Structure 1
Amino acid sequence: MRKQEYAPFLSQIQGVKKHTDIEYTFSVSYSGEVKPGQFFEVSIPKYGEAPISVSGIGKDYVDLTIRRVGKVTDEVFERYQGDKLFMRGPYGNGFDVNDYKDSELVIIVGGTGVSPVRGVIEYFSEHREQRQSMTLIAGFKSPHDILFKDDFKRWEKHMNLILTVDGAEEGYQGRVGLVTRYIPEIKLADASRAKAVVVGPPAMMRFSVMGLLERGFAEEHIWVSYERKMCCGIGKCGHCRIGHKYVCVDGPVFPYTIGKKLLD
């Protein structure tokens, strides 16, 4: 973490990729340690700041996938390659890929939940020798809402990919149904020793974890992210507090043994 954790720094936009009308990925300059699942506070003077999860990590840059949902993100969407943003961070604990090495790995994501875990998926897609089998179940509302389409085409060559949408449209040839529908279909040699990551809307995470437990997963082998609770990044504003935990500081990634107790 930066020594002056309150002070933002300028970051230049190196590229912008449009996924949907309201979801873009901004590649912004950054040099330093960062892990998938961590987040930055992105700010524009006079408009405020917003916590944005890291959706990709490269040499001297990070990807931030942003949904246009308010005053700050509206203004961010007016920025283009070469423009600059203020940022501070990274914050939070993030995902540690070492937790999943040499294991059968299952990742279940819903909607923009794919963003914070994208780095984990990418790592084990490129380092297949460091894990056993891998299944990725990703769900979106409709075919038009699917993010990272190019990545999914590449990932399906290296893992068991189940890409599904809630509702079909004319001409759509893919899977339809909630992500939980496909949990019983996961092929595992030993579910009790497999590892899982679940990120998405609260209801989706709750029922996905239930499905994994029914399959025989151990609670301590399941990780969840409460990224929707992120706020100031340093646990000072109190908005992220659930019980005695501060999601910005103690999370947003939690093993399910802890996450199941964080009811808000």
Structure 2
Amino acid sequence: MKNNLLPKAYKLVEIIPQTSVEYLFRVTFDHIDEIQYGQFVQVSLSKVGEAPISISRFDKKEGIIELLIRRVGTVTDALFELKPGDNIYLRGPYGHGFPFEVYKDKRIIIIGGGSGVAPVRSMVDTIANDMKLVKDINVLFGFKNESLILFQEDIKRWSECLSLQITLDEPDNVGHYLGGRVTEHLDKLPLLKDKDKYQDLHIVIVGPPIMMKMTALACSNYGINDHHIWLSFERNMSCAVGKCGHCKINETYVCLDGPIFRYDQAKKLID
């Protein structure tokens, strides 16, 4: 029987810089068949601590998952000292992911902000590799500036087969990017222009809390059903199994009941 609290050692295969502060860690993993888009694992180091990290990509053939890690504290600082070949300790996957079966044969808009692009990366990649999975897809990613754009090779490849736009908060020399926040450019998404097709349109939003709040509100104001708007709550998660209470909001445990919530549920989660 699998012990849901016991970390297991896995091999760190590769570390790929994405920006000056964010690196992609490629790690072996043996529970890939259990992973849903948007789930997370607990990453730990002995005598240091652990942290929840979203699964950015998973490859069943290679038996590898990819984790986007940003240096923000004790655990992540220690992770940045590792080298390929070192052991890294994981447990999971945890939480409820995006209901991808619900999105199949539907229209979908995926909106990501900053490191919030990581949890939706594998889902966008799956659709880009088989565009017949959905009727249509628009993607809108927002970053602070050009130096912080993540997954640039993926974005280039995705742009060849689907509608994808990038916004930059700091608009100096934006070139072919859009200047401003994602909420300022929702009107440029083709799928939001056709209200007759809203009944089978789903919107996925992942990013900083204020970005998700304002983007979800704007989409709701367009007339999108709140049951068709999906957000990822990851703030304050700690133990991943609903025991520590750090992520509890009212009667909801984000690590157990989420991290993915419909907007009709999410807008009631005020922490």
Classify the TM-score, shorter chain: over 0.9
Within the candidate set 214, 223, 241, 1:207 is matched to: 214
Tell me what 1:50 maps to: 51
**Aligned-residue offset at 1:191:** 2.2
Q: Cα RMSD over matched residues?
A: 1.3
Q: CA offsets, 1:167-213, max 9 Å, x none?
A: 12347442211001111222234123311100111111111112211
Q: CA offsets, 1:52-98, max 9 Å, x none?
A: 11000112111110000111101101112111111111111111311
Query: Aligned ranges for residues 1-264 of structure 1 at < 5 Å?
Result: 3-32=2-31, 33-59=34-60, 60-170=63-173, 172-188=175-191, 189=194, 190-264=197-271
Q: CA offsets, 1:214-239, max 9 Å, x none?
A: 22211111110001232110010000
| Structure 1 gap ranges (5+) | none
Amino acid paired to 1:5: N
% identical aligned pairs:
40
Runs of at least 4 residues off by over 6 Å: none
**Aligned-residue offset at 1:23:** 0.3
Amino acid paired to 1:210: L
Q: Is the 8 A contact 2:165 2:177 kept in 1?
A: no
Q: Is the 8 A contact 2:167 2:181 kept in 1?
A: yes
Amino acid paired to 2:36: K
Which TM-score applies when normalising by structure 1?
0.96
Give 3-state SS (helix, strand or coil) of 2:221's partner: helix
Distance (Å, rounded) in 2 between the aligned partners of 1:172 and 1:81: 36
Give 3-state SS (helix, strand or coil) of 1:117's partner: helix
The count of aligned residue pairs is 263
Amino acid paired to 2:138: T
